[in-house]
Amino acid sequence: MKWSKKILNRYTVLLLIMLILFSVLGAKLYYLQVSRGDYYSDSANTKSHKLITVQAPRGFIKDKNGVDLATDVQSYNITYTNTDESEKTLFQTLQKVFKILDENKESQDDNFELKINPYRFEFSTSDATEIQTLQLRFLKDRGFQDNILKKDFKGKKEADLTDSEKAKLNDKLLKLTPEYIYNELIKEYGIIKGLKSINVQTTPENIRRYLLIKDGIKMNSFSGYKPVDIASNISKNTSLIFAQRLFELPGINVDNKSMRKYPYGQLASSVLGYISKINSDDEEKYSEKGYDTSSDYIGISGIEAALESKLKGDNGGKVVQVDKQGRVTNELATREAAPGNNVQLTIDVNLQYAAEQALKKEMAYLQSTGSIGGQTTTNATRGAAVVVDVHTGNVLALVSLPGFDPNDFSNPKGLTDATIQKYFNDDYEQMAKAQNMSQSVIDFRFPIDTSIKGNTTIRRDRYDYFPKPLYNYATMSLIPPGSTFKPLTAVAGLENGAIDENTPYNDQNQFDIGGKIEKFTDAVNGELSVVRALQVSSNPFFMYTAQRLLDKNNNNLDILAQYAWGFGLGADPKETNPGTGIEISESFGQVYNTVSQKKISSAQYLLSIEQDLNTGISSKGIKLQQVDLYDRDGDDIIVYKDKKLSEIKKEIKDDITDSVRNGTFSVNNYKKLLKELIAADPKYSGKNFSDTDLSNIVADINDRAIASGNWELSRRFNVYHAAIGQGMDTFTPLQLAGYVSTLVNGGTRYKLNLLGKITDATGKIIYETKPEVLDKVQISQKTRNLVMQGMNDVTQQGTAAQAFVGFPLQTGGKTGTAQFNADLQYQEGRSDYGIYVGYAPKDDPQIAVSVAIFDGGAGVEAAKVAKGIYEGYFKDELQKKYNYNFDIDLNTKPEN
């Protein structure tokens, strides 16, 4: 008994309890770390939890009759999910993946902007500023600024740098060569070592294949280790092969994603636009809007961009747990994706097809013929056409050629080198040599683009010689309307009472524009009045009409503009954001008016003065001391008496523009500013500027800015030229179609629409466009009848008659032939624009059209395209009533 009491004292009991507790704890630790170690290790590993985005199907885009123009289809994709385990065998796994892809003739995705052979960056833009912004973002995302900050800025963070320090940092980054950047990435990612470990040759091509994946892993690590796309839009058979071999491919998965599909390829590309992945510089903006910036696409142009918020659905998502092989083992949370809304356009796909075919046919004819009426037409490679319903403002067709295939951009594999070159990085020198241009012509038309830092080879197309497929010539190009403006001048003259239907004028093919006789190359028409003047397109008659308008309205130089604005040909400069109302991006051209002319002239004369001073030759051929007013890199850093060099230059240029606009001029002030410029800019160090030198420079500025620039602003000839569609008058083909629509419907200017309605995924209408009146022009029935009579005669026996020979429906219209550049047109390789505006039928117009062919030579050539459009619109009537033989093949539908 004594022994038992001695054994079971308080100490032995405490020891026993401790032994039991430690045994239980040990058993639990064994269970956690040994029996279930792998499970809990994976659970604790942040890489074992993945957010899988479930992409929302993008809404369909349809034509007015419900034909699908843009759809979403499912594609098979191969992805890689990085885990601690799959990372160990990454190179071995990729070797097997690439072998399967190659054997099945599938290509790897390639959205990596750094290319080889030669080393270069290629971004989906041709804008020099944007290229530099994207290149900087590429480098900073990959940490190339870190060493520069450490070495040159004492380890400061970029956010703490001053503006000038940030500029220096960016300049140093942009000086890093693509080859250096490429080699640094290869080192960082251990590509060479990885390839050697699997006995793969370290050729540039092999290195880059693996580099794409390693870079994708790093970039996706910033957003939670999302899967990296390896190959997208592969065939079903290839996807099955991968599915069968997943057990030997750690981290590899086969999934389905929606992909944008445009069934008709290039058809209506000018309307639809295209989509693209979100570039790195916009990631923050779109991330805040709920986009998955690693995989989502956004509209870049056209309807895809304009209605992005409607077409883009709400992504769903899954939070899943993956095992060490990257396989999904548990679904922790799910949110369903909501599809985007569907958009129905006002475009009629059959009419769109007819318009595109007619324009393509005419452009091909002009190129092959080579010359029309003494005008070279071999470069008739660009054109536009617009068709508008005159009673609603709905756009039934909108064509810009050359077009592009939006499928090139929606394919997740990425743009090929060839398509990047075609759309964004045209080699103008190579293209020019293919046309047998001499080196001197190449240097004149396509000078080196000095705006790109470090560039020594990239050229710019100074005179817009080569076509740009992504540029919308129908809505963005501002071109002189030529004689297509004359019906507007007739309306102004008739409505204002400056002329009437019988006002005579003796057309001798010349006109006194104010002490100078301007002669034309047209025929002498003798005595005529307004209807006949429209038919034969008499320049002198419409200049005379402008003269009478000015005489009757106290020399109001804006009188013609005030009528034009009502038709959508420009707008009062006081108006903010004027436009046709169309949903996609547009330019909005302006008719001559005194306010706009001041802005244009001051900018033009400033450029002329800058050029004179930079070359050291005055406008009168006098030799000057060279002065540089151009904005240069580093101007913000150079300071003279508390004033930056950039500020001094700006003061001089502001004074020049003010001199042109308002006629103000101070010799002493110009000399004072020039002295400051010379003292501030190091390039003038050691150079002697005498008072005579300064006086000569100031005299040249005075001659350009005051004697020429300001003097011209108040001259009547500005209105005379505007009256025949020349001078500063420039409009888009879209504006011209809207103008004719307003004229022939009696004066109602409708908002121009591409959007018909928006429906949800079930077909329920969310929004429907109704005709909207932007303006109501006061035009009498008599004026309308007279002007339309003249335009009807144009197509029957006037300047467009040749185009409508044998066409059974009577129409009205007006041709226009406008110069690109009267002084340098031949040297630039450009020819006259061929322009036509019209309507049909002549007595009860249903549609208005405008057609423009760049370097088309003559307006009658554009009229032939209008006839093709009428063939498409009135197809059934022409077949049934007239058994008509069509010029274009409308029975061959666009390929689906």
How far is 356 from 264, CA to CA, in rounded Å? 13
- C-alpha span between 207 and 229 (Å, rounded): 18
pLDDT at 3: 45
Q: What is the pLDDT of residues 94-145, one digit of tens each?
A: 999 999 999 999 999 998 999 998 898 988 887 778 888 899 999 999 999 9
| H or E segment to which residue 813 belongs | strand 812-818
Mean pLDDT of 604-616: 92
- Are the beta carbons of 634 and 453 closer than 8 angstroms? no
Which of 679, 675, 694, 681 lies closest to 628, judged by CA?
A: 681
Each residue of 648-660: pLDDT tens digit? 999 999 999 999 9
Q: Which three-class secondary structure state does DSSP give residue 860?
A: helix
Q: Is the distance from CB of 181 to CB of 136 less than 8 angstroms? A: no
CATH architecture for segment(s) 482-591+729-882: 3-Layer(aba) Sandwich (3.40)
Q: Which tokens sit at 309?
A: 């918020």
Rg of the chain (C-alpha set): 35
Kindly report, residue by residue over 659-680, the tens digit of the pLDDT: 999 999 999 999 999 999 999 9
Q: DSSP string of 35-53?
A: ISHHHHHHHH-GGGEEEEE
Give me the mean pLDDT over the 681-709 stretch.
92
**Which secondary structure element, helix H or strand E, spans residue 330, and what is its range?**
strand 328-335
Residue 894 in this model has a pLDDT that exceeds 70: no
Q: Is the pLDDT of residue 2 over 60?
A: no
Distance in angstroms (rounded) separating the CA atoms of residues 523 and 527: 12
What's the pLDDT score for residue 392?
A: 98
- Three-state helix/strand/coil letters over 51-114: EEEECCCCCCEECCCCCEEEEEEEEEEEEECCCHHHHHCHHHHHHHHHHHHHHCCCCCCCCCCE
Give the model's pLDDT for residue 642: 85
The DSSP element (H or E) to which 756 belongs, if any, is strand 755-759
Residue 750, beta-bridge partner list: 773
Residue 787 CB-density burial (10 A; 0-12 exposed, 13-18 middle, 19+ buried): buried
Q: How much is the pLDDT for 446?
A: 87
> CA angle at residue 753 from 750 to 759, to 5 degrees?
135
Q: What is the mean pLDDT of residues 787-805?
A: 96
Instruction: Pick the closest to residue 189 from 122, 142, 257 (CA basis).
Output: 142
User: How many of the other CB atoms lie within 10 Å of CB of 668?
Assistant: 8
The secondary structure of 207-270 as a DSSP string is HHHHHHHHHHHHHHHTTTSPPEEEEEEE-HHHHHHHHHTGGGSTTEEEEEEEEEE-TTTTTTHH
CB 276 within 8 A of CB 65: no
Predicted confidence at residue 13, as pLDDT, reads 65
Q: Collapse the DSSP code of 748 into the 3-class scheme (helix H, G, I; strand E, B; otherwise coil) and give the result.
A: strand
Q: How far apart are CA 757 and CA 413, in angstroms?
A: 32
CB 68 within 8 A of CB 262: no
pLDDT tens figures, 509-547? 999 998 899 999 888 999 999 999 999 999 999 999 999
Rounded CA-CA distance 273/827 in Å is 34
Q: Which of 785, 116, 204 is nearest to 491 (CA)?
A: 785
Q: What is the pLDDT of residues 364-411, one digit of tens each?
A: 999 999 998 888 899 999 999 999 999 999 999 999 999 999 999 998
| Spatial separation of the C-alpha atoms in residues 624 and 616, rounded to whole Å | 4
203: exposed, middle or buried (C-beta count within 10 Å: 0-12, 13-18, 19+)?
A: exposed
What are the backbone dihedrals phi and psi of residue 321, each rounded to the nearest 5 degrees, phi first? -105, 130
The confidence band for 610, taking pLDDT boundaries of 50, 70 and 90, is very high
**How far is Cα 523 from Cα 510, in angstroms, rounded to an integer?**
10
322 pLDDT band, cuts 50/70/90, is: low
Instruction: Write out the H or E segment, with its range, that includes residue 316.
Output: strand 316-322
What counts of helices (H) and strands (E) characterise the chain? 36, 29
Distance CA 555, CA 211 (A): 71
pLDDT (0 to 100) of residue 629: 92
Nearest to 410 by CA among 508, 275, 251, 303: 275
Burial (CB < 10 A; 0-12, 13-18, 19+), residue 166, is middle
DSSP assignment letter at 803: G
Is residue 577 pLDDT above 80, yes or no? yes
Please, what is the end-to-end C-alpha distance for the chain in angstroms? 102
Q: What is the mean pLDDT of the chain?
A: 89
Highest mean pLDDT among 146-155, 174-183, 274-283, 489-498: 489-498
Confidence class for position 225, pLDDT limits 50, 70, 90: low
pLDDT: is 663 or 318 the higher one? 663
Q: Is the pTM of this model over 0.85?
A: yes
pLDDT for residue 7: 57
In degrees rounded to 5, what are phi and psi of residue 684? Answer: -95, 5
Nearest-angstrom CA–CA distance, 98 and 110: 13
pLDDT value of position 730: 96
Q: Could you tell me which residues come within 8 angstroms of residue 354 by beta carbon, excluding any fewer than 6 positions away?
A: 397, 868, 869, 871, 872, 873, 875, 888, 890
pLDDT score for 325: 59
Residue boundaries of the structural domains of the chain = 2-35, 482-591+729-882, 596-713
Q: What is the pLDDT of residue 855?
A: 93
What's the rounded Cα separation, in Å, for the pair 56 and 280? 21
Q: Which pLDDT band, with edges at 50, 70 and 90, does 35 fall under? A: low
Q: Residue 558: which of 710, 778, 719 has the closest Cα?
A: 719
